């Protein structure tokens, strides 16, 4: 690339490509035009510089003697600041002249932003190749990119004169280059008068010099004909009318072809944000040039984008800067990527605190900050959402208690110590009071249902931060009223029928009423109250209140309108079939709820009845885990299990738990693996009509062929990323391993599902499933692969 000129006279950018910025001659005025040229070094970050052969320099103007060539990278871009909505003339000159000694005529494509502008190809070695267009940018930046092989693209521009010359700046203020053209059958006429062109009602004023001469046919009875070839033969004829006494006349002619630029540029806010991130961290990746998202084959390394259609600006949804040598703090510019779903800054040298804004980014589903040197307290919003992987940052804190106190002078230290002793005493007293109060609550629940007692439910053990539980106690008459005398049945829980109810015009509830004849149901009622009075998570069904009046016991939950997952997988009752991406999101959200029970509760809890009918779906298919009647607390230290009576649903029940009565959190993991297999296959868990009745056996049998399509739900119609499908299948079979020690933890399951969801989202967004080879956060999972399908 030898020369780029951009803009109108007041805003010229004339670049001598390959000219060193340190040279004393930069910038310089080109004598023949008076245009001021400067080095292109400030406008591009890649490429190498060269010059044409010395014995040919005298044949060319100074801007054509140096050049920039690009041996590396699939796209190399000049970045120009422009004014959005203004009209620009964009022109590029190229000269080859065997600068590399290969004597091979090059060929490359020019892109304007994400759209193909022109292909540059030489027919003769010493040609000066010129391409130009009139363009109206849609943002305040313009990228002119060279790649391997609607605005107006110039086809030709000529004035009719025998002068064998051209017209350009300074003779013509707009610097649209006009070349001469003439034919033997024409006669030239001219005038010495000044031709006025300022009254033309358009922006295409021709130069005055082009209008002082004209061509007419030598035979005045013949038309004046101009022919050219585009995709077909084109002919322009000027014919004298019957009443005319003069022959046809033409001064100059411009012919443009329309280039359709169907692909929208990436959202301007996203472009500015990622450019600021690039500058802030001094990222020098060769692929980080031009438009970040489009064309898709040139998308920036480490990015994935949502590309819905060509008319909609793409949005950045995935940013992976792991192992990029980043230093400093987490850049504030990241929060401006408002559609970002996955952020990976792992394995760098980042310092400082985790910023609050990460917890406020609504689209984020996964953040990997592992293996940095971050410090301070992790924002509570991130802890509650379960988005963050903070491993490998020893100075990060999950709570205020791990932040060391500041050193104090001796007298202050004494006062602080005394104050600490006083606080400890107060805390001990409060703990005894709360313990006594909690015992009284649970004691009331342990009484027979015939004894009426007031249950004051509080949150005695907040998992992350103090949560004000506002659980109302309802009378039985209020329960009758809210359910309209138990008119509408919406399901059946572990201890009784579930009814639809309304508290007011806006709030719907589900009322689980204890069956009068259910002794086991009363124990489940107590267990569910015991659990729900302590927990709060976005993927667990929320308790609104309860009724404990005489023989009447009821739990009032929030109403989840889309029913359970099983019905949506089967399509029964007119339920819509959910696609693969939504299935992965549901699986991730259900897994997050289970992970919270296992590691976020004190003491930890085991659900014991994980199945598709206990995963409820909100209007936007957000998953909420329900039915905690069989849940049991689990010791966080010391013993690795609890011994308990067998409980659960056949098919989902952990076989090791069934054999030994030893309950661990891995029992939930097994059940969740079965849920994943249901979501993948849409097969019943147990089907005696199959050769292999249990779903795990059936999957193993079907996968002997190594073709995952034999087990995928046919309702998906092949619309899924096979890579993510294999990963989820492997994960499901690992969860369903007969040996609990070979199953992953729910935390590992959550991390793996986040990656699978990011992979599927990228495929759906980009329509062809382009997956960046560096686009996945790698998390080591200690999972036995003995039962994984090996044929691929």
Burial of 722 (0-12, 13-18, 19+ CB in 10 A): middle
Per the annotation, does 512 bind a ligand?
yes
- Cis previous bond, 696, omega within 30: no
Q: Which among 108, 38, 125, 112 has a CA at the least distance from the CA of 73?
A: 108
> Chain-centre distance of CA 168, in angstroms?
47
Q: Under the phi-then-psi rule, with left for phi > 0, alpha for psi from -120 to 50, and beta for the rest, what region is 407?
A: beta
Report how far apart, in Å, the C-alpha atoms of 209 and of each of 4, 89, 173 are.
25, 20, 12
Cβ count near 81 (within 10 Å): 11
Tokens 């600006």 belong to 313
Quote the CA–CA distance of 356 and 381 in Å, as a whole number: 8
Quote the CA–CA distance of 545 and 472 in Å, as a whole number: 5
Concatenated DSSP letters for 73-127? -SEEEEEEE--TT--EEEEEEEE-TTTTSS----EEEEEETTEEEEEEE-SSTT-
Our answer to whether residue 609 is catalytic in this structure is yes
Strands 36-39 and 213-217: unpaired
Q: Under the phi-then-psi rule, with left for phi > 0, alpha for psi from -120 to 50, and beta for the rest, what region is 255?
A: beta
Order of strands across the sheet that contains 489-492: 472-473, 543-549, 552-558, 508-513, 497-502, 489-492
Q: Three-state SS for 632?
A: strand
Quote the CA–CA distance of 234 and 130 in Å, as a whole number: 22
Instruction: Choose the catalytic residue: 40, 291, 389, 609.
Output: 609
Kind and range of the H or E element at 317?
Answer: strand 315-320
Q: Which among 777, 690, 758 has a CA at the least distance from the CA of 316?
A: 758
Q: What is the C-alpha R_g of the chain? A: 37
CB 211 within 8 A of CB 197: yes
User: What is the rounded end-to-end Cα distance, in angstroms, of the chain?
Assistant: 47
Q: Which among 423, 435, 426 has a CA at the least distance from the CA of 460?
A: 435
> Chain-centre distance of CA 353, in angstroms?
24
Task: Name the DSSP letter for residue 576.
Answer: P
CB 137 within 8 A of CB 82: yes
Residues classed as catalytic: 609
Annotated binding site for ATP: 512
- Please enumerate, by residue number, every residue annotated as part of a binding site: 512
């Amino acid at each position: 690339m030898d020369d780029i000129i951009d803009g109108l006279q007041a805003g010229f950018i004339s670049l001598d490509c390959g000219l060193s910025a340190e040279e004393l001659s930069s910038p310089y005025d080109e004598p023949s035009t008076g245009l001021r040229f400067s080095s292109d070094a400030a406008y591009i970050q890649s490429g190498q510089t060269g010059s044409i052969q010395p014995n040919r320099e005298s044949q060319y103007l100074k801007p054509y003697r140096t050049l920039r060539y690009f041996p590396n990278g699939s796209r190399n871009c000049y970045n120009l600041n422009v004014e959005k909505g203004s009209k620009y003339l964009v022109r590029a000159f190229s000269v080859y002249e065997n600068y590399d000694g290969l004597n091979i005529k090059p060929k490359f494509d020019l892109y304007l932003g994400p759209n193909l502008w022109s292909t540059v190809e030489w027919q003769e070695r010493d040609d000066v190749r010129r391409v130009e267009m009139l363009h109206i940018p849609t943002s305040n930046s313009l990228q002119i990119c060279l790649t391997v092989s609607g605005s107006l693209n110039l086809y030709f521009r000529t004035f009719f004169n025998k002068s064998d010359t051209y017209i350009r700046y300074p003779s013509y203020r707009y610097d649209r280059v006009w070349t001469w053209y003439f034919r033997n059958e024409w006669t030239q006429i001219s005038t010495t008068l000044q031709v006025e062109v300022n009254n033309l009602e358009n922006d295409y004023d021709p130069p005055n010099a082009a209008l002082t001469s004209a061509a007419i046919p030598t035979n005045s009875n013949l038309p004046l004909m101009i022919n050219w070839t585009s995709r077909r033969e084109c002919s322009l004829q000027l014919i004298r009318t019957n009443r005319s006494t003069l022959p046809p006349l033409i001064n100059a002619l411009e012919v443009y072809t329309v280039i359709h630029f169907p692909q929208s540029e990436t959202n301007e806010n996203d472009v500015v944000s990622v450019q600021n991130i690039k500058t802030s961290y001094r990222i020098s990746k060769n692929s980080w040039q031009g438009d970040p998202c489009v064309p898709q084959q040139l998308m920036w390394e480490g990015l994935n984008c949502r590309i819905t259609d060509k008319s909609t600006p793409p949005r950045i949804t995935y940013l992976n800067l792991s192992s990029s040598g980043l230093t400093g703090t987490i850049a504030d510019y990241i929060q401006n990527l408002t559609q970002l779903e996955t952020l990976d800054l792992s394995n760098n040298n980042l310092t400082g605190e985790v910023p609050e804004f990460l917890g406020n980014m609504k689209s984020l589903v996964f953040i990997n900050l592992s293996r940095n040197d971050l410090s301070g307290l992790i924002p509570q919003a991130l802890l509650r959402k379960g988005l963050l992987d903070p491993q490998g940052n020893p100075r990060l804190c999950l709570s205020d208690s791990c932040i060391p106190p500041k050193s104090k002078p001796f007298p202050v230290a004494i006062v602080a110590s005394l104050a600490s002793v006083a606080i400890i005493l107060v805390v001990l007293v409060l703990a005894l009071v709360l313990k006594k109060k909690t015992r009284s609550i649970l004691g009331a629940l342990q009484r027979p249902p015939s004894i009426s007692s007031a249950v004051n439910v509080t949150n005695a053990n907040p998992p992350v931060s103090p949560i004000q539980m506002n659980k109302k106690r309802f009378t039985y008459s209020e329960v009758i009223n809210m359910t309209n005398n138990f008119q509408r049945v919406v399901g059946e829980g572990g201890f009784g029928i579930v009814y639809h109810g309304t508290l007011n015009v806006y709030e719907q509830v589900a009322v689980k009423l204890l069956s009068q004849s259910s002794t086991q149901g009363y124990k489940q009622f107590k267990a569910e109250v015991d659990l729900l009075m302590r927990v709060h998570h976005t993927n667990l069904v929320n308790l609104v209140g309860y009724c404990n009046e005489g023989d009447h016991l009821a739990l009032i939950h929030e109403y989840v309108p889309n029913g359970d997952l099983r019905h949506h997988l089967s399509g029964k009752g007119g339920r819509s079939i959910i696609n693969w991406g939504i299935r992965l999101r549901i699986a991730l959200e259900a897994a997050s709820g289970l992970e919270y029970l296992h590691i976020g509760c004190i003491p930890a809890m085991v659900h014991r009845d994980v199945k598709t009918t206990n995963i409820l779906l909100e209007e936007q298919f957000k998953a909420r885990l329900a039915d905690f009647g069989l849940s049991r607390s689990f010791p966080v230290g010391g013993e690795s299990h609890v011994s308990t009576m067998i409980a659960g649903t056949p098919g989902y029940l952990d076989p090791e738990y069934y054999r030994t009565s030893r309950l661990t959190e891995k029992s939930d993991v097994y059940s969740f693996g079965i849920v994943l297999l249901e979501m993948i296959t849409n097969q019943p868990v147990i089907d005696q009509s199959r050769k292999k009745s249990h779903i795990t056996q059936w999957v193993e049998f079907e996968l002997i062929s190594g073709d995952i399509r034999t087990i995928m739900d046919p309702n998906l119609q092949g619309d899924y990323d096979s890579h993510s499908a294999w990963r989820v299948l492997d994960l499901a079979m690992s969860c369903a391993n007969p040996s609990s020690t070979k199953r992953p933890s729910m935390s590992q399951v959550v991390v793996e599902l986040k990656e699978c969801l990011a992979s599927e989202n990228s495929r759906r967004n980009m329509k062809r499933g382009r997956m960046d080879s560096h686009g996945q956060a790698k998390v080591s999972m200690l999972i036995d692969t003995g039962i994984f399908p090996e044929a691929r």
